[in-house]
Each structure stands twice: as structure tokens, then as C-alpha cells.
Amino acid sequence: MGLLDSIDLNKLPKHVAIIMDGNGRWAKERGEDRVYGHHEGVVSVREIVNASAEIGIKYLTLYAFSAENWNRPKEEVDALMELLVNTIRKETDELDKNNVRLSIIGDFASLPLICQKELNEAMDLTAKNTGLNLILALSYSSRREIADAARKIALDVVAGKLQPGDINENSFKNYLYTSAFPDPELMIRTSGEYRISNYLLYQLAYAELYFTNKHWPDFRKNDLIDALLNYQQRERRFGKTSEQIQKNTPQHV
């Protein structure tokens, strides 16, 4: 029996979010430039996207570039944008063939025009696909997303489309970039850092957090399976007691 067979397909998280950390350190450990690590990181991206689709995960969100990443040296930012364009250009047909639908969250307008063009074409091409939803967080800041949501709500209130009394946890969600997606049940961060780093702060409220020391370029299919197996051993209580959960509710629904 392979590792894959040990996964309980009835207890899969619908949505897995990943902070792909450690490309730079992975490269430095090999005496290479940081950009080499990002290139190897793309190999992991490809493998994890394919494995997620194969396992039956419905939503996969990857933190590919944070709003704060614009502050990195210009050569690294340029290399990452070029890598993004080339990767999208090269992989879109394969994504489409595998029934993957691509979406973006973040400050799309801040991306170079060539990135916007490639991403728009890839999103259009894959828009009808019904398999894995691959969501790339690009130029993404969760605090900005929440502030944007507050601004959009204020505008709707001023326009008379929304009553202040109707603003609650659920209606708030409709104003986030992720309004079309369920909240992640599992968040994975590689490279031994124990931080959320301005990622999906509202959406991760009840997510199980999984940290591994592996750097992103070393994180492959079996590591994803390990994370899923670990997730399946957790008891998700949502504030209730263990006894209540075991008596009343099947887990992981």
C-alpha cells in the first residue's frame, strides 16, 4: 500500500493554502543565486498542483508573491515576474488539459502589464474547467484585502445597497477577494518559519496549521500527502468540546 492509499478520501480538506517559503535559503545552501531557488520552486509548484488534482482537492491557494515582496532587490523582483510569465505561458495548456481552473487574488493592477496579459489569457482559457481551482496570491496583502472590503462595504452603505445592520461575519466574506471560494481547512508553510505573514488572515480563522522544515523546492507529492495525513489526525472542534464533537458531528465536514 502506497502513502497515497493511506489518505481517507472522505476526510480531505476542500481547500489547502500554502506559503511556499525557503527558495532563497535552498539556493544559498547549494552556493547558488536566490533566483535559482525560485526556478526549482516552480518544479514543486507543478508537482503539488498535479498531486492536488489527482488526490481530489478542490481548491489550492499558493502564496506566490506578497505585496511586501515588491521591496526585494529589483533584480529578484524582475526575475520572479519573468518566471511567472514564462511559467504561465508554458503550463497553461497542461492546466487546461487537467481541467484546472486558474484564479488570482491580490492587487492585479500592480503587476507588470505582460503578467496581467498572460494571466488574463490563462484565466479565460481555463474559466470553464471544473476540476482543481488553482488560486495564485500575487501582490497579495491580507490586511489590504480586509481594508478594501471595508471600503467596498462603506460604498454599498452610502449607495443604499446595504444596511449597516446586515454587516456580519458571513456578508463580510462576500467582499473579500476570495468570495467565490470556501475557507481553507489546511494551511501549510514550508521552511521552518512559524508565521502567517499577512496571508488569508480572515479566511484562516479555523484552519489547521502545518509547518515543515523542508524548503519549498524540496516539498513534493509525498510531503503533501504527509501534511494531509497529519490533518486527518486532527480533531477540528470549532470551539466545542471533544465530547460534543465525538457524539454529534462527523469530523471534517
Give catalytic residues, as residue numbers. 21, 69
The residue within the footprint of ligand FPP, chosen from 38, 101, 189, 214 (CB under 6 A), is: 38
CB of 171 to ligand FPP, least distance (A): 31
The residue within the footprint of ligand FPP, chosen from 35, 45, 200, 225 (CB under 6 A), is: 45
Residue 51 near ligand FPP by CB under 6 A? no
**Looking up cell 522544515, which residue turns up?**
213
Residue 83 near ligand FPP by CB under 6 A? yes
- The Cα–Cα gap between 207 and 111 comes to 29
CB of 247 to ligand FPP, least distance (A): 43
The residue within the footprint of ligand FPP, chosen from 35, 53, 60, 62 (CB under 6 A), is: 62
Residue 123 near ligand FPP by CB under 6 A? no
**Looking up cell 480533531, which residue turns up?**
235
Helix locations, 98-200, DSSP H: 113-126, 142-158, 169-173
The residue within the footprint of ligand FPP, chosen from 11, 14, 25, 144 (CB under 6 A), is: 25
- The Cα–Cα gap between 95 and 112 comes to 22
Name 60's Cβ contacts closer than 8 Å, sequence gap at least 6: 15, 16, 17, 18, 48, 49, 52, 132, 133, 134, 135
- Cα distance between the two ends of the chain: 26
Asked if 201 and 142 touch (Cβ cutoff 8 Å), the reply is yes
CB of 125 to ligand FPP, least distance (A): 16
Residue 21 near ligand FPP by CB under 6 A? yes
CB of 68 to ligand FPP, least distance (A): 9
Residues in touch with ligand FPP (CB under 6 A): 20-25, 34, 38, 41-42, 45, 62, 64, 69, 83-84, 87, 136, 216
